[in-house]
């Protein structure tokens, strides 16, 4: 089980890095009307975020903070993807919810990283 435990921090770090990259790509999309991977990053982020709670549960960690934040990451990513795909398709007026969701995603993935330092 310790092999899976070792995968949690890199997975959460990758989710954090992809979220930041997606924000940069989204900002570029707003300013230059060219997409450098915002949508494709969202798909990759969704797969990794859904895998995070699975890895946490399978690793046997009892820390409620790690478990709760990993499920929050997965839930926020799914909501973020649905908002981006269906509510913001051609109409960017839902950016008021899209951006705060990305901020919450960043905070929760960072919380997984921090909580894993103390998890047993």
pTM score, two decimals?
0.87
**What stretch of H or E contains 73?**
helix 64-82
Quick one: pLDDT at residue 80? Answer: 92
Q: Are 118 and 35 in contact (CB under 8 A)?
A: no
In this predicted model, what pLDDT tens digit does every residue of 8-43 receive, in sequence order?
999 999 999 999 888 877 766 666 666 667 788 889
In this predicted model, what pLDDT tens digit does every residue of 38-82 receive, in sequence order?
788 889 999 999 999 999 999 989 889 999 999 999 999 999 999
Quick one: pLDDT at residue 34? Answer: 61
Quick one: pLDDT at residue 30? Answer: 64
Q: Are 78 and 50 in contact (CB under 8 A)?
A: yes
In this predicted model, what pLDDT tens digit does every residue of 83-102 receive, in sequence order?
888 887 777 777 788 889 99
* Integer angstrom CA distances of residue 96 from 14, 74, 78, 84, 93: 25, 20, 17, 12, 7
CA 76, CA 73: separation in Å to the nearest integer? 5
Quick one: pLDDT at residue 88? Answer: 77
For residue 120, pLDDT beyond 80: no
CA 97, CA 107: separation in Å to the nearest integer? 15
Q: How far from the centroid of its chain's Cα atoms is residue 71's Cα?
A: 10
């Amino acid at each position: 089980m310790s092999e899976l435990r070792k995968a949690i921090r890199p997975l959460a770090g990758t989710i954090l890095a992809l979220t930041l990259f997606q924000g940069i790509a989204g900002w570029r999309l707003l300013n230059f009307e060219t997409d450098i991977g915002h949508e494709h990053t969202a798909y990759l982020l969704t797969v990794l975020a859904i895998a995070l709670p699975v890895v946490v549960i399978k690793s046997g960690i009892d820390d409620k903070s790690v478990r709760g934040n990993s499920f929050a990451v997965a839930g926020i990513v799914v909501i973020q993807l649905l908002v981006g795909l269906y509510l913001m398709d051609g109409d960017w007026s839902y950016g008021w919810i899209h951006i705060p969701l990305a901020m919450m995603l960043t905070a929760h993935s960072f919380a997984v990283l921090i909580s894993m330092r103390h998890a047993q």
